[in-house]
Structure 1
Amino acid sequence: MPQIAQLAETWSSQFFWLAIFFGITFFVIGMGMVPKVMDTVEKRDGKIADDLAAAKAARDAADEQEEAWRVRENENRERARAIVAQAKDEAAAKSDKKIAAAQKRLDAKLDEAEVRIGEARNAAMTEIEAVAAEAAQDIVQRVAGIKVTKPTASKAVKETMAHG
């Protein structure tokens, strides 16, 4: 068979060209393209690492700023609480002063009223004693037919009122 006889002749030339083609492909791809691809991968890995480091640094900075903000916010709240407490204390002191002044006025009015009531009571008692003395004089004169003097009747009424 002639095809099989040609196999040895064509085989060696095909193997030769196959080796040359793979050698050229190896050098072109292996020496030219692979280093460029590897360089691109390394650059990409470096960029990713830099981006991750920048993101971590940004997150750390944001955390620090947030903590500083929280500290400022807490300080502001404490200052506000102190201001409110001071305002409450001042308002309470003013209220206490106003209440004390009002209480003094009320006490003075009460004292004046008690004096007037005492005077009115004394005047009423004096009037009652005078009326009672006159009534006693009239009753004694009508019942017993004895005329009693005004000082004697007043003395008897005073003694009776003092005991009763």
Structure 2
Amino acid sequence: MPQIAQISATYASQIFWMLVIFAIIYFAIGNGMVPKIEATVDARDRKIADDLAAAHAARAAADATEAAYRARMDAARNGARVETEKAKADALLAAEGRVKAADAELATQSDAAEADLRAVTDRALSGIESVAAEAARDIVFRLSGAQVAPEDATRAARSALAA
């Protein structure tokens, strides 16, 4: 059959040209496109690596900034605590000074009041003494009709009040 005899010649020609086309495509893609794709992939990898390095550097800088911030905050807190304690101590000393001054003033006032009270008590006692002496002289005169000397009546009233 003649159709079957043609198959080997037709297929051989088609297989040849198919191999030639595949070789051209292989070398065109291998030599032309693959290097460009590899260069793009390498550039992307470098960009990613550079971005990661920049991110790590930024993170380290942020950590250093945060550590410096925390150190400043701790120093500020300690300074505030020291100032607060100093202010408390100063206020305590000032309050103690005012209390001592008030105590001294009150002691002076108390001493003056006690002296006034003693003076008033002495005057009252001397008034009571003289009234008691007069009353004793009067009672003795009314009961017995005898006159008692004022000095004797005063001495008797004083001894009675002392007891």
By how many angstroms is 1:30 displaced?
1.2
By how many angstroms is 1:110 displaced?
1.0
Distance in structure 2 (CA, Å) of the matches to 1:28 and 1:94: 96
Distance in structure 2 (CA, Å) of the matches to 1:63 and 1:17: 66
Distance in structure 1 (CA, Å) of the matches to 2:76 and 2:3: 99
Which residue does 2:12 correspond to in 1?
A: 12
Amino acid paired to 2:59: R
SS at match of 1:147: coil
Which residue does 1:25 correspond to in 2?
A: 25
Amino acid paired to 2:101: A
Which residue does 1:147 correspond to in 2?
A: 147
By how many angstroms is 1:4 displaced?
2.4
SS at match of 2:104: helix
Deviates more, 1:125-134 or 1:29-38: 29-38
- Structure 1 residue ranges, 4+ long, deviating more than 2 angstroms after superposition: 1-5
Matches within 5 A, 1:1-164: 1-163=1-163
By how many angstroms is 1:2 displaced?
3.8
Distance in structure 1 (CA, Å) of the matches to 2:129 and 2:16: 160
By how many angstroms is 1:3 displaced?
3.2
Amino acid paired to 1:74: D
Distance in structure 1 (CA, Å) of the matches to 2:132 and 2:116: 24
SS at match of 2:148: coil
Distance in structure 2 (CA, Å) of the matches to 1:114 and 1:33: 118
By how many angstroms is 1:39 displaced?
1.3
Give 5+ residue unaligned stretches, structure 1.
Answer: none
- Give the alignment's Cα RMSD to 1 decimal: 1.2
Distance in structure 2 (CA, Å) of the matches to 1:103 and 1:142: 56
Distance in structure 1 (CA, Å) of the matches to 2:41 and 2:16: 35
Identical pairs, percent: 45
The number of residues matched between the two structures is: 163
